[in-house]
Structure 1
């Protein structure tokens, strides 16, 4: 990634090194207070520099694709962001590339594989897109030991049950390799978002380990029902219970508590508009108990993906 120009002030909302250090103190106090060895974040992003700049430009512009101003708190080089997560005590984290058009997934996957190879905390992440080559490269990645995939239907503008993906879902279901799916209509929906195509995929591949990003917001009820119906479906907490994102229906909290083993911490680091600790504080305010927090912030991620590369249940 191109290093920031020291002669140019960072965009408004970007944390200074001093603020990042202060954030680290708050984050560590949270998990130390729970008696945990750290945090397990299944929803973080590291992208090739050209793609990262393009993604951040969309957030900087706001508008119809984002829906509101969205300052990026942890805008920094790859190296600085890795060190920030280490200072927070995040022991394992994903990179979650996502393809936005045909022909891009291979480039993203090659870059992500190289990036993961040099950083032991990284979950080797990959993506796919509905294209004729998808079944082949996904099968190759699974065979090679990739740990987690990501797809984003709002950005990619495709239905999850596109015929090009049926063999992909079959491969992932058989292998048990998790896939983080952003299918909810938050922050801004389109003709492809919502629970319908996810429900159709799960009906055909009921053993698929799908991790529903953002608790499926704003279609929280429908995605919660899918998690209750299919035992391999997980939910990640990314950006939920903050002052910034879609509100979670209070009447669903008892059911979310009952799904304790299948709720995973996610953050959307680095493209979040608040300190990393803010979401952790939001989870604590739910008052679902310390055991629930320990499971969500650590144990469930460890059980699904392991503490060392390739040590998850799907390996």
Structure 2
């Protein structure tokens, strides 16, 4: 039955207007939940036993959900577009290069997420969540696993019962994984990046959006979320304690601001032979901890958390995702 479940995402032309085309993602779970609240009126009344049935009103509060999946080397552009403030794309030969960046203002874009759930009695039901706006995103890579992405959404409302949209998938795509990635850092004054051997890295973002924008307007549905707080970008490196990570520990205790870059080369190639790729750049990071930790039965290790900061001269966080183009979509 689970083989009939699908999760798909498509850009909307206006907040709350369902997308007509969607891209399919191979989700790891189903967390899409709607929320309802009840307004209730209770007062003195002769013979009242409990709240009266005609004194309650249900209100659609929208809901929340996540798309958690492995990052493939083709077909992930819509998911990244939902998670970043800006998205630009351009053809370069037989490849499409997507550039996603942070910005001082939100993108203002919204998406439709369709969760198709199989029924025990046979068949499926499509739940169409409209007005989806990303609130957090997390990328995680550790040895032994593919590169994983988790994007959390707030949505305006959900409907069900319509025929499922046909999700588009890339004709061919392979997951990025730990064997294809390289982590590098650059200290202040250095002319080049230095490779850092990590066992795990993470980068996360919290968008700072106000999502509960409701008004007395004869309509219970929320309006499009807007940025109300300073976004937060964080991450971490886990590595063995050696000369290279000692330098990073010293950067931590000194409050040094340095640069980080993470690069992946994909297995899927364009028709001209150029491989797909993914590059994450954070020009200004500052470590927030921690000290190395020794063990009786393991190599001394350390976990270095960091904040991604605004360098003032360029974007705080940039992700460049290159995939073969055209990518003929297939449904199913």
TM range (shorter): under 0.3
Higher strand share: 2
Using the size of structure 1 for normalisation, the TM-score is: 0.21
Structure in which a larger fraction of residues adopt helix = 1
Computing the radius of gyration from Cα coordinates, the structure with the larger value is 2
